[in-house]
Amino acid sequence: MLGDVTQTTGSTAAGPAQDDDRPAAPTPSRGRSRLRVHRAWIVAVVTFVTIIGGAAFNSLPGLLIDPLHTEFGWSRGEIGLAVSIDMALYGLTAPFAAALMDRFGIRRVVVVALSTVAVGALASVWMTASWQLMIYWGLLVGLGTGSMALAFSATVTNRWFVARRGLVTGILTAAGASGQLIFLPLCAWIVEEHGWRPASVTVALAALAVVPFVWLLMRDHPADVGLAPYGGAYVEKPAPARGAAARTVRVLFDAARTGPFWLLAGTFAICGASTNGLIRTHFVPSAHDHGMPITAAASLLAVIGVFDIIGTVFSGWLTDRFDARRLLAVYYALRGISLLFLPILMAPTVHPPMVFFIVFYGLDWVATVPPTLALCREQYGDDSAIVFGWVLASHQVGAALVAFLGGVARDVSGSYDMVWYASGALCATAALMALVIRRQTQTPDPVVLTGSG
């Protein structure tokens, strides 16, 4: 994959890095073509690392519910509300971020986003009231991480790749899981040994550490370095798209007139509810309720991250070859069945059935993203990144509701059991919704491979 030959037809095999505002014209290649990695793969690697750095904060909320409750006396519902604000803004920011990247460039938007995450994480060290938690965790971190959401991956994939789009989508989606794999055990150990504040500082430093890589290595468009996108023909870099906010809203209204949009948004809302809102936020405190140490529960979530990477990349490969609707139906059905068994698996120690659940759930965690994005491309063509941003917003709204309601359910009933069962039933509904999404008989985007949908 990384050994593929850089294309020479209609573009140079390599070119000097230029400023984003001065795109280079293509120059015919001369002499023998040399084996080298296409610049698209370098951009993909930078994107992968960026998402890891930005996703570090996502490892914290589930680890800090109990420490914040103990230190400040805030209810789990209050803490869950801050997490839900973060998740909702993460989703609602994504479609506007995609349009802002069209206007100001990927590099500038992502650098500002990483800096915003760092400020929010650092400021939380000095908070003393729950409203400050809402501002730092909810507002600042939500806006920052939302600007590096999956719409970021979609924008990079759409601009830099024609071939291997499903595979690249799977790889970039797995970056969030890689961040979880790296930071969950680390942050759990820091919280256990040194408290929650050093963990928050660690997350801020992780976000800042990525900024130089983005600024030095990221480019907004293949034309910036005189290249064609991987697997496609050279195209001139489009002029900056003005009116980003207006375009984002217009695309929403256009898409909202179509049935597939609501089905995709509905299924993805359930996806968010059953992953970020449920497992990522409430698995650790739920396991701790049953006597499991926080570090052990966090390690199980990290294992989810390992298999998330495998499952997402494999899902991207499958999406290039099979009907995305049927893939979604299978993913949601299997997820729902596994959630129904989770309450009886909770125990003070890690045992084989729980390990099986973790592996199974990890393989399915965000395997839904490549087929969902493929269906957005199939249905909405050039606007697919922004449409996917709005679909992602529904994902985060679903996550936000369950992050809040799960905490409330725990406060009221003393147990998370009803939340697991309700989420299992929702996943069954999502499986049915995926099957009724209509196929697009004419692909709006002529560069998308026909096998993607």
Residue 262: what pLDDT? 94
Which region among 30-34, 106-110, 447-451 has the lowest average model confidence (pLDDT)?
Answer: 447-451
- Cβ burial of 21 (10 Å; 0-12, 13-18, 19+) is exposed
pLDDT at 151: 67
- pLDDT of 20 higher than 50: no
The whole model's pTM is what? Answer: 0.65
pLDDT at 264: 94
pLDDT for position 59: 66
The per-residue pLDDT for 15 is 40
Confidence of residue 196 (pLDDT cuts 50, 70, 90): confident
Q: Alpha-carbon Rg of the chain, whole angstroms? A: 21
Backbone angles phi, psi at 196, to 5 degrees: -80, -25
Tokens of 33: 């073509």
Task: Specify the pLDDT at position 7.
Answer: 41
Residue tagged 């409750």 (tokens): 69
| Average pLDDT rounded to a whole number, residues 289-304 | 82
> SS3 for 337?
helix
Q: pLDDT tens digits, residue range 262-276?
A: 999 999 999 988 988
**Tens digits of residue pLDDT in 106-143:** 888 889 988 998 898 899 889 888 888 889 888 888 88
| Closest-CA residue to 396 (of 151, 117, 33, 122) | 151
Nearest-angstrom CA–CA distance, 197 and 226: 46
- For range 196-201, the mean pLDDT: 89
Residue with tokens 């797995």: 174
Q: What is the pLDDT of residue 293?
A: 84
Torsion (CA) 80, 85, 91, 96 in degrees, nearest 10:
-170
171/385 Cα distance (integer angstroms): 17
